[in-house]
């Protein structure tokens, strides 16, 4: 399986995402924002960072870059797409996921290991978890507060489209503690925490077993590998 990772000007975590894909057993493929070529990949990751310097709004310019026209068409055709942090911001700017992301309610950039509860496993990227599972994924953002109007929030809750919810503390003021979403079809997932930073023992969040031993993020990438191969 080949999973593309798109690099935009200002991307930070594209190499980390490619490493996570490799550790999961798939082939990472580097994609460039300025082309229309998805190179025949089977899935796509929009990585974290500060695309285009976060000018205008986070993700707003990247959402209009050339390759995103192809990503939107691919996502609408059923291709799995994962948006991480800035990638989540890009997904809402393209309207592949609803709502918006604004400045953290406390006004500061935050970096912490964040506990999450898995709310939905009905997606290509979350099928390896179980509903109610508690995981720890690193978080780092300055504009991660999820917002939507009440009718949209009620629809997300009612249709089971909330994929992850913050536990213990809401780090950025996200409404209803929403940390991540999926679309109705289950092929598009976006979240603010960074699963690619929790894929390798010795480099992830601390656990009760050992310091930096957390690898909960690897399940995102093994899930899409399993789901895609099963549907082939």
pTM value is 0.97
The structure tokens 């506990």 sit at 115
Q: Spot the catalytic one: 143, 194, 197, 200.
A: 194
| Nearest CA among 67, 7, 5, 69 for reference residue 42 | 5
Task: Choose between 63 and 231: higher pLDDT.
Answer: 63
How far is the C-alpha of 40 from the C-alpha of 56, rounded, in Å?
32
Catalytic residue at 85?
Answer: yes
How far is the C-alpha of 121 from the C-alpha of 130, rounded, in Å?
6
pLDDT of residue 111: 96
The structure tokens 């399986």 sit at 1
How far is the C-alpha of 121 from the C-alpha of 105, rounded, in Å?
29
pLDDT of residue 11: 97
pLDDT of residue 131: 98
**Mean residue pLDDT across the chain:** 97
Q: Spot the catalytic one: 33, 58, 85, 143.
A: 85
pLDDT of residue 231: 81
pLDDT of residue 230: 85
pLDDT of residue 135: 98
Element (H, E) at 231: helix 218-231
Q: In what order do the strands lie in the sheet with 81-84?
A: 27-32, 2-7, 43-46, 81-84, 188-191, 178-182, 162-166, 110-118, 134-141
User: What does the pLDDT look like over 163-208, one tens digit per residue?
Assistant: 999 999 999 999 999 999 999 999 999 999 999 999 999 999 999 8
154-184: burial string, b at 16+ Cβ within 10 Å, e else = eebeeeebbbbbbeeebbbbbbebbbbbbbe
Q: Spot the catalytic one: 33, 196, 197, 200.
A: 196
Region 35-62 average pLDDT: 96
How far is the C-alpha of 165 from the C-alpha of 180, rounded, in Å?
7
Residue 221: pLDDT band with limits 50, 70, 90: very high
- φ, ψ for residue 90 (rounded to 5)? -65, -40
User: What does the pLDDT look like over 113-160, one tens digit per residue?
Assistant: 999 999 999 999 999 999 999 999 999 999 999 999 999 999 999 999
Say whether pLDDT at 229 is over 90. no
pLDDT of residue 216: 98
DSSP-derived secondary structure for 111-137: EEEEEEEE----STTTTTS-TT-EEEE
pLDDT of residue 122: 97
Enumerate the β-bridge partners of residue 113: 138
Catalytic residue at 194?
Answer: yes
Cβ–Cβ under 8 Å, residues 217 and 23: no
Region 214-222 average pLDDT: 98
Distance of CA 102 to the CA centre of its chain: 16
Catalytic residue at 106?
Answer: no
pLDDT of residue 56: 86
């Amino acid at each position: 399986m080949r999973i593309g990772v798109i690099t935009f000007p200002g991307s930070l975590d594209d190499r980390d995402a490619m490493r996570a894909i490799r550790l999961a057993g798939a082939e990472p493929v580097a994609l460039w924002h300025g082309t229309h070529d998805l190179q025949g990949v089977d899935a796509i990751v929009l990585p974290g960072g500060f695309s285009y310097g976060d000018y205008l709004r986070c993700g707003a310019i990247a959402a209009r870059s050339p390759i995103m026209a192809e990503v939107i068409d691919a996502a609408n055709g059923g291709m799995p797409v994962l948006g991480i942090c800035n990638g989540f911001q890009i997904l809402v700017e393209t309207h592949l996921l609803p709502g918006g992301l604004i400045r953290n309610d406390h006004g500061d950039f935050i970096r912490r290991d964040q506990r999450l509860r898995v709310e939905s496993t009905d997606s290509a990227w979350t099928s390896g978890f179980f509903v109610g599972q508690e995981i720890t994924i690193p978080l780092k953002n300055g504009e991660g507060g999820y917002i939507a109007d009440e009718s949209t929030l009620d629809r997300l809750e009612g249709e089971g489209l909330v994929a992850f919810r913050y536990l213990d503390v809401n780090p950025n003021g996200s409404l209803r503690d929403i940390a991540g979403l999926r679309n109705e079809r289950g092929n598009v997932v976006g979240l603010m925490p960074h699963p690619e930073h929790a894929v390798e023992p010795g480099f992830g969040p601390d656990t009760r077993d050992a310091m930096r031993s957390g690898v909960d993020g690897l399940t995102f990438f093994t899930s899409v590998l399993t789901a895609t191969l099963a549907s082939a």
